Amino acid sequence: MATAKAKSSSAGKIKIDKSQKLELYRIMSECRALQQRAYDLFMQNLVKGTTHLGQGQEAIAAAFGFAMREDDYTFNTYRGHNHNYVRGVSMTSILGELMGRDIGQLRGKGGSMHITDSSKGAMGSYAIIGAHMPIAAGAAWSAQYRGTEQVACCFFGDGTTNIGTFHEALNFAKIWELPVVYICENNQYMEYTPIGDVTAVEHPAADRASAYGLEPILVDGNDVEVMYETAMAALEKARKGGGPTLIEALTYRHHGHSRADPGKYRPDDEVKEWKENRDPLYGYRAKLLGEGIDEAELAKIDANTEKMIDEATEAAKNSPPPPAEIAYTDVFADGGAEWRN
Amino acid sequence: MAKLSYREAVAAAMAQEMRLDDRVIFLGEDVGAAGGVFKATLGLFDEFGPTRVRDTPISEQAILGATMGAAMTGLRPIAEIMFSDFFGVCWDTVVNEIAKARYMTNGDHETPLVIRSANGGGARFGAQHSQSIENWAMAVPGIKVVAPSNAYDVKGLLAASIRDPDPVLFFEQKAMYGNKCEVPEGELVIPLGEAATPREGTDVTIVALANMVPKSLKAAEILEKEHGILCEVVDPRTLVPLDTKTILASVEKTGRLVTVEENPRLCGWGAEIASIVGEELFWNLDAPITRITTPHIPLPSVDVLEDLVIPSVERIVDTISKMD
């Protein structure tokens, strides 16, 4: 069987200037702070329900968020805080939602797993594995029909590659040559189980690409510049009518699957290797310093990030819980929940 | 007025709305060039072309997911799920995604879409191609449920469903596709949530849906002629929203309620109506509420068995004639 070969870059032709590098660093830094703060808040028992955090996977969200056009569509899973943040959903809205406050993005009606703001192209966080893959195809179909050159980007985990919607959506996207980019964030564990233990091929997404007439693309998901180049190439292709792209981005989640999971099933040396030597944020920081960027510039970004997350935390903490009446709103388009006269 | 068949009324409603609004697009298996396996969408492909009438692979999850994605981004898609039994393979998209999108996002998502599907028995297709699942749909908050009983209502209610800002499950009773009645050629829209009363009477209220409506009307004729019982037949037409006012007013007048349901017994839509009438009109009732349903079994294929278990004119007459 043909196996996908890792590429250092899918495009490799894009020049990334210093200001862009600093932007990529800033976005990753803010995502990390947001996720770390979410973790701290639930350790303080201030987060209701569950959370699925994305520390370690920031490069993928940051690169796409930076590369996408303002009116492009993002579809993501319940591990989606970073993806929403990079489209412009505020830290306060996200933390407020996690904490079940009225200031939350969905006023507590959705929770951690459903952050959405379609006015910013953040088309939803989906908590049924794979369900959003055909929905993203539908948004792409709509863009194609309306002739807007918008692209839908759909993020999912390695576990998703074994559910039916993955296969239905890829076939669908290809036969209609839809402007959609599917990004598998292969963090190597489907919930608590190594993906390799439950998958027929080595590379869960890339090795399936050829079944749908797609090029196998396997990239280092922890290298933000590689991710940015890959994103730009896929977005441009989709925008020009070149059809869908499937990307497998290799990454690692620093924490367990969700708040209930300490992640003890992973070997200590594996976790150590990914955290110490392959961290997308710290690795990029070291790279930028190596390229001669002044540490003071990075420190300024770091300080601003700290200030932002502290202010957002305070704003969320100071918000009351939502009023009772919103439990009964927005079931139907008339704003209410009435099913009889 | 021309006579149209139930199936022709489907295409007529869709064509009416597609001419008015280019956001209306249509997808499903064999719906385009082939005109649908029940020929209910014949002519649409020729008139509107392959960009608006799209044949899909056998991928129900992709069909409904794409429908939702298109609806969220400014279009008004219509999907066909060939047999309502096939909702079993894409029910997640209906109940977890489409139905909950608006509520979960605090009103952010809009999902104006219609899913049409051939529903119900009478065609000898066996247990996986004959179910009546309108009661599954009724049980899920966030979707509207329509089940017309004649070609006139098909045209008017389908047009209203396409214009509706909420997701609508539109159940076409497949044994009725050949039934004809007079349907206006011009624009026809019937608001969702308004029951029809195709026969008035003073003794018993029969609430029936889809193919149970003509059977109940026939039974009402026999009951009047042979037993002197005057039945009022109420067709809710839509289960969500439910026109309880019409039902309650009718039962208030007659004092007796019988539901005639094609769905299997447990949690059929009639149970909800019985519960509402029991709570709100108990002291007006002159007899226990009676539900006539298919028993709680999968549907058998062969005609002698299928006809035995789906409520029949004879069973309706027999049950009502023996009521107190």
pLDDT for residue A150: 98
Residue A10 pLDDT class (50, 70, 90 cuts): very low
Residue of chain A whose Cα is closest to the Cα of B241? A339
Length of chain A: 341
Residues B158 and B34 in one domain: yes
Statement: residue A144 has pLDDT above 50: yes
Cβ-proximal residues to A120 (8 Å cutoff; 6+ apart), any chain: A87, A88, A89
Structural domain of residue B23, as residue ranges? 2-183
Is residue A323 in some structural domain?
A: no
Segment A311-325 shows an average pLDDT of 98
The CATH number of residue B211's host domain is 3.40.50.920
Statement: residue A28 has pLDDT above 80: yes
Structural domain of residue A232, as residue ranges? 6-309
Nearest Cβ partner of B106 from A109, A123, A165? A109
Nearest Cβ partner of B105 from A106, A139, A168? A106
Domains of chain B: total: 2
What are the angstrom distances between the C-alpha of A209 and each of A183, A206, A245, A259?
12, 5, 9, 33
Alpha-carbon span B93 to A150, nearest angstrom:
24
Residues B126 and B233 in one domain: no
Is residue B189 in some structural domain?
A: no
Contact A131 B97 (CB under 8 A): yes
Is residue B190 in some structural domain?
A: no
Distance from CA of B27 to the nearest CA of A (A): 11
**Tokens encoding A57:** 């996977």
Nearest Cβ partner of B73 from A143, A165, A333? A143
Statement: residue A2 has pLDDT above 90: no
**Tokens encoding B299:** 């549907």
Segment A319-324 shows an average pLDDT of 98
Segment A210-231 shows an average pLDDT of 98
Of A260 and A336, which is predicted with more confidence?
A: A336
What are the angstrom distances between the C-alpha of A304 and each of A55, A94, A293, B132?
19, 18, 18, 60
Is residue B191 in some structural domain?
A: no
Is residue A315 in some structural domain?
A: no
Residues B176 and B201 in one domain: no
Is residue A329 in some structural domain?
A: no
Q: Mutate which of B73, B96, B276 to disrupt the A interface (most A C-beta within 10 Å)?
A: B73
- What count of CB pairs under 8 Å joins A to B? 158
Residues B158 and B208 in one domain: no
Helices and strands in chain B, H and E counts: 12, 14
pLDDT for residue A173: 98
Is residue A333 in some structural domain?
A: no
Residues B10 and B149 in one domain: yes
Condensed to tens digits (0 to 9), the pLDDT of residues B58-70 reads 999 999 999 999 9
Q: Which of B154, B183, B212 is where one domain is finished? A: B183
Residues B178 and B215 in one domain: no
Candidates B109, B129, B227, B296; catalytic one: B129
Residues B148 and B172 in one domain: yes
**Quick check: B115 contacting A, CB < 8 Å?**
no
Q: Is B129 a catalytic residue?
A: yes
Per cent of chain A over pLDDT 70 is: 96
Please say whether the beta carbons of A181 and A154 come within 8 A.
Answer: yes
Domains of chain A: total: 1
Query: What's at A319, amino acid-wise?
Result: S
What are the angstrom distances between the C-alpha of A42 and each of A85, A98, B175?
19, 9, 56
In chain B, residues 168-207 whose CB comes closer than 8 Å to chain A = 193
Length of chain B: 324
Which residues in chain B land under pLDDT 50? none
Angle B230-B236-B237 from CA coordinates, rounded to 5°? 125
**Tokens encoding B119:** 């529903």
Classify residue B297 by burial, with Cβ atoms within 10 Å: 0-12, 13-18, 19+: exposed
| Contact residues on chain A for B51, CB-CB shorter than 8 A | 145
Alpha-carbon span B116 to B79, nearest angstrom:
6
**Quick check: B108 contacting A, CB < 8 Å?**
yes
Segment A131-136 shows an average pLDDT of 98
Contact A137 B276 (CB under 8 A): no
Segment A178-205 shows an average pLDDT of 96
pLDDT for residue B279: 98
Residues B109 and B159 in one domain: yes
Mean pLDDT of the residues in chain A? 95
| Contact residues on chain A for B245, CB-CB shorter than 8 A | 341
Is residue A77 in some structural domain?
A: yes
Is residue B188 in some structural domain?
A: no
Please say whether the beta carbons of B287 and B323 come within 8 A.
Answer: yes
Is residue B204 in some structural domain?
A: yes
Segment A40-58 shows an average pLDDT of 92
Condensed to tens digits (0 to 9), the pLDDT of residues A258-295 reads 877 888 899 999 999 999 999 999 999 999 999 999 99
Residues B161 and B57 in one domain: yes
The CATH number of residue A120's host domain is 3.40.50.970
What is the residue whose two structure tokens read 């069909």? B63
Residue of chain B whose Cα is closest to the Cα of A137? B66
pLDDT for residue A13: 72
Query: What's at B14, amino acid-wise?
Result: M
Distance from CA of B202 to the nearest CA of A (A): 23
Segment A310-328 shows an average pLDDT of 98
Distance from CA of A179 to the nearest CA of B (A): 13
Residues B141 and B254 in one domain: no
Residues B49 and B101 in one domain: yes
Residues B77 and B214 in one domain: no
**Tokens encoding A73:** 């569509």
What are the angstrom distances between the C-alpha of A205 and each of A9, A21, A158?
17, 28, 7
